[in-house]
A and B are shown apart, each in its own frame.
Chain A
Amino acid sequence: QSVLTQPPSVSAAPGQKVTISCSGSSSNIGNNYVSWYQQLPGTAPKLLIYDNNKRPSGIPDRFSGSKSGTSATLGITGLQTGDEADYYCGTWDSSLSAGDVVFGGGTKLTVL
C-alpha cells in the first residue's frame, strides 16, 4: 500500500493528451515538492519533472507537472508509442520525525 495514490493504468491514442494523478496528504504533497519519473520497460527510472513543474534539460515540453493542495498531476501531450511506460510520483513525507521519501504505486501508460 503506497502512501501516494496513483491510478494503476491510463490509456490514450497517439497524438492525444493524458493526465496521471498522484494523491497524497498534508504531510507529503501538501507541504513538499513533487517529482515524476518515467520507467520504460526493462530500464531504470528517469527524472521527468522536479519541484512540481520543472523539466530537466532534455525533457520535451510535451511533459508537464502541476500541483494543487494535496494532489499532483503529470500531463503528457502529443502521445507517442515511445511514451508507453510506468510513471511514478515521489515526494518527501514529514509525518514521522525523521522524514521519509515516498513514491506512488505507479501508473502504466498504454498508447493505443
Chain B
Amino acid sequence: QVQLQESGPGLVKPSETLSLTCAVSGYSISSGYYWGWIRQPPGKGLEWIGSIYHSGSTYYNPSLKSRVTISVDTSKNQFSLKLSSVTAADTAVYYCARHVGIAAAGNWFDPWGQGTLVTVSS
C-alpha cells in the first residue's frame, strides 16, 4: 500500500528556511495525483500548505504562498517543502499526504505520513 514518510530538521532558527522531504513508497508519483503538505501547530487544527503534481504544477495556500516552495523529484519518488523566513508561529507538526481530486474534483487527503515536529527557536 501507499506509504509516506517525512524527514528533515526538527529545529530551525527564526528567519531561516524550513526544509522537509516526503518519501513515497508503494506508488509512483509519476503515475498521477497531487501530493500535499499540511501542518498542525501544537494543540491546534489543520492548515493546508500546498500541493504539487508530478509535472510540477502547484497550488499554494494564499496566506503562505509568498514563503512556500514545493518541488517534486520523480526519480527519487519524493517531494519537498521549503518555507522561508520562519517564526515561532511556524512551529508545528508537518504532514505530507496524497491529495486526491484537487479543487472541485473531490479534494481529499489519503494516506498521510506520520508527521514530523518542527520547532522554530534560536
Whether chain B is bound by chain A comes out as yes
- Chain A residues with a Cβ under 8 A of chain B: 2, 31-33, 35, 37, 43-47, 50-51, 56, 88, 90-92, 94, 96, 98-106
Of B36, B45, B60, the contact of A98 (CB 8 Å cutoff): B60
Given contacts A45-B95, A46-B112, A50-B106, 9 further A-B contacts (CB under 8 A): A35-B109, A37-B46, A45-B109, A47-B110, A47-B111, A92-B103, A96-B62, A98-B62, A99-B59
- A88 to B111, alpha carbons, bound, how many Å? 15
Least CB distance from B66 to A in Å reads 13
Check A35/B46 contact, CB under 8 A, given A99-B59, A101-B61. no
Of A46, A51, A99, the contact of B106 (CB 8 Å cutoff): A51
Verify if B68 is at the interface (C-beta below 8 Å from A).
no
- A56 to B108, alpha carbons, bound, how many Å? 11
Residues of B within 8 A of A99 (CB): 59, 103
B75-110 CB mask vs A (1 if < 8 Å, else 0) is: 000000000000000000001000011111011111
Number of interface residues of B (CB under 8 A): 28
Pull 30 A–B residue pairs with CB atoms less than 8 Å apart, ordered by A: A2-B45, A32-B107, A33-B104, A33-B107, A35-B107, A43-B114, A44-B95, A44-B114, A45-B38, A45-B46, A45-B95, A47-B111, A50-B100, A50-B110, A51-B106, A88-B45, A88-B46, A90-B46, A91-B107, A92-B103, A98-B59, A98-B60, A99-B59, A99-B103, A100-B48, A100-B61, A100-B62, A101-B61, A104-B45, A106-B45
